[in-house]
Structure 1
Amino acid sequence: MTSHDARQGAHFAFTDRWGGVSTLPYGELNLGGAVGDDPVAVRENRAIAARGLGLDPADVVWMHQVHGADVAVVTERQPVGEAPTVDAVVTDRPLVLAVLTADCTPVLLADPVARVIGAAHAGRPGLAAGVVPAVVRAMTELGAVPARIVAATGPAVCGRCYEVPAELRAEVAERVPAAWAETSWGTPALDVAAGVRAQLAAAGVTELECSPVCTLESTDHFSYRREQRTGRLASYVWLDS
């Protein structure tokens, strides 16, 4: 159901679509609450995913993601059904941060020394708007040091598959040159994950693990571009207690 990596006391986990209770077209482990799925099933799926990682579902912080670059600093557990309208969250408390995606790039970060973690939702608009440098800045304001940050990106559509109009590629690549890409069939594309890597490096974050999974190519993962009406994956970051 979930891949889980631990480095220097920081934990990064990424779900696939299996092991939950949702029915088609959200089958099975849909963790997104704003895609039309039964809210009861989503709550149960979130509990299943958290328990599978040894986490308390009440410790998980979610976002209402809007493809922007705003960051929220979280200081306490999240009331059920409430989430900040942002595309990145940071905390220095013993919480778990989560990102929802179905092709966009989830970005997870941790400074285990400062005990600060961050999570960002980097789709094409958020990448261009600067959500990645914004989340690193917010972490440094809580005491993190970029050179100490360990990071991971999760399953996302790859640059060989993410076809876009030529003018859109040019617009994004003007801001993030590393995102310029071409599909495997020779048309204009964007590589959001490559853009994320470049922005992290520019912010001083050099220890990064990147998922090899392309959501569009993998039938084990949700993909909005492949299915439109579908579920959402979750990516989680937390620290050893």
Structure 2
Amino acid sequence: MITAVALGAGIGAGFSGRAGGVSTAPYASLNLGGAVGDDPAAVTGNRHRAAAALGTDAARTVWMRQVHGADVAHVTGPGPELPPVDAVVTDRPGVTLAVLVADCAPVLLADAAAGVVGAAHSGRPGTAAGVVPALLDAMTGLGADPARVTAAIGPAACGGCYEVPAAMRDEVAAAVPGSAATTRRGTPALDLRAGIAGQLARAGVTGVSVDPRCTLEDPGLFSYRRDGLTGRFAGFVWLREDAR
């Protein structure tokens, strides 16, 4: 159900899959997205199951209203309702940050020494707008040091599958060097994870891990491009309460 990620002492992090939940097709089964048409009771049940698997408190999980932008919110808990944002940051132990995806890249950042973590939804528009660098800037404002930050880029549409028009590829690549790619059929494409890794490297982050799974190719993950009407999996990151 959860693939754990190591981001440093006192940091919890991981990515969910689509198995182990209660939702029925086309959301089967661990759909965590509340705005895709699934039964709200099933989504709530799935979120509690994910929290139990993580060892966190579902009531202290922050979910974003993602809009493919670059705005960041500093949060101290799950309420009040956030404005639309695509990245969140916290320095409060026990508060879990969640990012929903189904082809876009979920990005988790942590500075264990500073006690600051962040999560970003980095799709094509958000990557081009610089949502991950914006999140890193917000973390720096809370005492993080890019040289200490560790990052995990989760499953996403790979460069061999994420076909786009040539003009779009060139436009994104101009803003995000390293993101241009070619599909296995020889058509223009984007590799968002490569572009995000480059953004992090240019900002001074050296500890970057990349989950190699492609959402379009892996049936254990939700993919909007593959299936259309479908669920969402999530990335999670939090400061453990016993770490301070």
Asked if the contact 1:59–1:78 (Cα under 8 Å) also holds between the matched residues in 2, the reply is no
Name the structure 2 match of 1:96. Answer: 96
| Amino acid paired to 2:122 | A
Asked if the contact 2:7–2:152 (Cα under 8 Å) also holds between the matched residues in 1, the reply is no
C-alpha separation in 1, matches of 2:83 and 2:101? 16
SS at 1:23's partner residue? Answer: coil
1:223 pairs with 2:223: yes
Asked if the contact 1:104–1:122 (Cα under 8 Å) also holds between the matched residues in 2, the reply is yes
Runs of 4+ in 1 over 3 A off after TM superposition: none
Which residues in structure 2 correspond to 1:157-236 (within 5 Å)?
157-236=157-236
CA deviation vs aligned residue, 1:162-200 (integer Å, no higher than 9, x gap)? 000001001101111210000011000000000100001
| Amino acid paired to 1:48 | R
Deviation at 1:238, TM superposition (A): 1.2
Deviation at 1:20, TM superposition (A): 0.3
Deviation at 1:77, TM superposition (A): 3.2
Asked if the contact 1:90–1:138 (Cα under 8 Å) also holds between the matched residues in 2, the reply is yes
C-alpha separation in 2, matches of 1:78 and 1:230? 27
Deviation at 1:8, TM superposition (A): 2.1
CA deviation vs aligned residue, 1:130-162 (integer Å, no higher than 9, x gap)? 101100000000110101111101110100100
Structure 2: 5+ residue runs without aligned partners? none
Name the structure 1 match of 2:151. Answer: 151
Name the structure 2 match of 1:52. Answer: 53
Asked if the contact 1:60–1:78 (Cα under 8 Å) also holds between the matched residues in 2, the reply is no
| Amino acid paired to 2:84 | T
Name the structure 1 match of 2:124. Answer: 124
Instruction: Please report the RMSD computed on the Cα atoms of aligned residues, expressed in angstroms.
Output: 1.0
For these two proteins, the number of residue pairs brought into alignment is: 239
SS at 1:226's partner residue? Answer: helix
Which residues in structure 2 correspond to 1:13-162 (within 5 Å)?
13-78=14-79, 82-94=81-93, 95-162=95-162
C-alpha separation in 2, matches of 1:26 and 1:83? 25
SS at 1:133's partner residue? Answer: helix
SS at 2:98's partner residue? Answer: strand
Deviation at 1:75, TM superposition (A): 1.8
Deviation at 1:48, TM superposition (A): 0.4
The 3 A distance-change label for structure 1 pair 101 and 189 is same
Asked if the contact 2:150–2:208 (Cα under 8 Å) also holds between the matched residues in 1, the reply is yes
Deviation at 1:113, TM superposition (A): 0.7
C-alpha separation in 1, matches of 2:82 and 2:27? 21
CA deviation vs aligned residue, 1:22-44 (integer Å, no higher than 9, x gap)? 00000000000010111111011
Asked if the contact 1:107–1:154 (Cα under 8 Å) also holds between the matched residues in 2, the reply is yes
C-alpha separation in 1, matches of 2:7 and 2:134? 23
Asked if the contact 2:100–2:233 (Cα under 8 Å) also holds between the matched residues in 1, the reply is yes
Deviation at 1:240, TM superposition (A): 2.6
Structure 1: 5+ residue runs without aligned partners? none
Q: Report the TM-score when normalising by structure 1.
A: 0.97
CA deviation vs aligned residue, 1:80-122 (integer Å, no higher than 9, x gap)? xx34310000011111111000000000000011100010000
What is the percentage of aligned positions where both structures have the same residue? 62
| Amino acid paired to 2:168 | L
